[in-house]
């Protein structure tokens, strides 16, 4: 692997990570503003959910279009597909296992795509709130 590829890749990774953080912050601050109390990145729970409402037994995952292979925008990088593809597939499978474990422990799971947060922010918030009120 040459250096250019490596530095390009880490630049891409930084962009993806900072985008993820941005959508988490946006969702959290809105939910917080509505008066709901939650914890974030609870390490003891399977899959480290992004937002956890312990008293409601609800967890929220914000799934990056890239890391979770969204059917619309997952765009596997053209270079080094043999590196990315198994990695992303594994990630998707892990998410399924996490869902199963959490369900067995009695959690309700909300998974929101990055593109939903970006394009339908209000709808995402509504989905969270209506699940909390069930
Ligand atoms: Zn997407």
**45-66, pLDDT tens digit by residue?**
999 999 999 999 999 999 999 8
75 CA from centroid of ligand 1 (Å): 10
68 CA from centroid of ligand 1 (Å): 9
Q: Whole-angstrom Cα distance, residue 45 to residue 51?
A: 11
111 CA from centroid of ligand 1 (Å): 12
Percent of the chain with pLDDT over 70: 94
Q: Whole-angstrom Cα distance, residue 125 to residue 110?
A: 11
Full-model pTM: 0.85
The more confident residue out of 15 and 130 is 130
120 CA from centroid of ligand 1 (Å): 12
Please name the CATH architecture into which domain 3-132 falls: 3-Layer(aba) Sandwich (3.40)
**How far, CA to CA in Å, does 123 sit from each of 14, 19, 75, 101?**
28, 19, 25, 26
- pLDDT of 1 reads 46
């Amino acid at each position: 692997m040459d250096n250019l590829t490596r530095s390009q890749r880490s630049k891409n990774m930084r962009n993806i990570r900072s985008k993820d953080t941005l959508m988490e912050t946006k969702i959290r601050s809105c939910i917080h503003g509505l008066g709901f109390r939650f914890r974030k990145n609870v390490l003891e729970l399977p899959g480290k959910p992004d937002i956890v409402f312990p008293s409601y037994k609800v967890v929220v995952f914000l799934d990056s279009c890239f890391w979770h292979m969204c059917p619309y925008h997952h765009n596997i990088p053209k270079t080094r597909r043999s590196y990315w593809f198994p990695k992303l597939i594994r990630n998707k499978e892990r998410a399924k296992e996490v869902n199963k474990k959490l369900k067995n422990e009695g959690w309700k799971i909300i998974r929101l795509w990055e593109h939903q947060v970006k394009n339908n922010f209000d709808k995402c918030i509504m989905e969270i709130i209506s699940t909390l009120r069930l």
